[in-house]
Amino acid sequence: MALMNPRLKELICKIVYYGPGLGGKTTNLKYIFDHTSPTSRGELVTLNTQGDRTLYFDVLPLNLGTIKGYKIRFQLYTVPGQVFYSESRKIILRGVDGVVFVADSQQERMDANIESLEDLQDNLRQYDYSFSDLPYVLQLNKRDLPNVVSVEEMKKLLVLKGEPVVEAIAIKGVGVMETLKEIAKLVLIKLKREMR
């Protein structure tokens, strides 16, 4: 459940962008950061790892209102996608309120998508998180490239529980904000249910 800060009257929700290396997680967060008012977001923190990056920043959307008098703040994270950073991914998932899985639509990246999706589920199990109850959105990124798998085929391979699926070209901002809105909506629905 979201962290509660009674002093600031805020609920802090953690959303993690997960997926294979170089699939577009960082591009999503950078686009969101660049297109969010500086008064509504914190600093962008980048932790460079060998061949990949982990990003973090928080954002306070102005139009989400309150829940029981608490403002909603989202903290957005990416995880390093490279296989050998499994422990880092697991640590970043601690306390997660919602996950966006950023799948790379290129044919040659399908195995990496499936492997990363299995890694996500393994890491969630280690924290005893119920994947079936976790707010979750699947983003099909890089839809503008010539060697992409069809949306239908990607859904067959990657959809796990009837989650929302958003087609994206993160480098151009296509589908990025739609993905964020979808995961934010699911997180807020769950929060409201838990705070009854």
Element (H, E) at 18: strand 10-18
pLDDT of residue 49: 57
CB-neighbour burial class of residue 1 (10 A; exposed 0-12, middle 13-18, buried 19+): exposed
Give 98 or 61, the one with higher predicted confidence. 98
Q: Classify residue 67 by burial, with Cβ atoms within 10 Å: 0-12, 13-18, 19+.
A: middle
Structure tokens at 3: 């962290």
Both tokens of 117, joined, read 């999706």
Task: Report the first-to-last Cα separation within the chain, whole angstroms.
Answer: 13
Question: Could you tell me which residue, 60 or 89, shows the higher pLDDT?
Answer: 89
pLDDT at 169: 98
Average pLDDT over the chain reads 87
Residue 52, pLDDT above cutoff 70: no
Provide the token pair at 105. 């639509």
Can you give the pLDDT at residue 56?
55
Q: Exposed, middle or buried by CB within 10 Å (0-12, 13-18, 19+), for 194?
A: exposed
Instruction: Give percent helix, percent strand, percent coil of the chain, each to the nearest 5.
Output: 40, 30, 30
Length of the chain measured in residues:
196
Q: How far apart are CA 121 and CA 116, in angstroms?
A: 9
123, two tokens: 């890491």
Tell me the C-alpha distance between 63 and 133, whole Å: 25
Phi, psi values for residue 168, rounded to 5°: -145, 155
> What average pLDDT does the segment 46-74 reach?
64
How confident is residue 60, by pLDDT bands cut at 50, 70 and 90? very low
**What pLDDT is attached to residue 96?**
96
Beta strand residue intervals within the chain, DSSP E: 3-5, 10-18, 45-49, 52-59, 66-67, 70-78, 98-104, 136-141, 165-167
Q: Which domains are assigned to the chain?
A: 3-194 (3.40.50.300)
pLDDT (tens digit per residue) in 115-155 = 999 999 999 999 999 999 999 999 999 999 999 999 999 99
Q: What's the pLDDT tens digit per position in 82-113?
A: 655 677 778 889 999 999 999 999 999 999 99
pLDDT band at residue 64 under the 50/70/90 scheme:
low
Identify the pLDDT of residue 57.
Answer: 47
pLDDT tens per residue across span 12-50: 899 999 999 899 998 998 899 899 888 887 777 776 655
Q: How far apart are CA 19 and CA 145, in angstroms?
A: 18
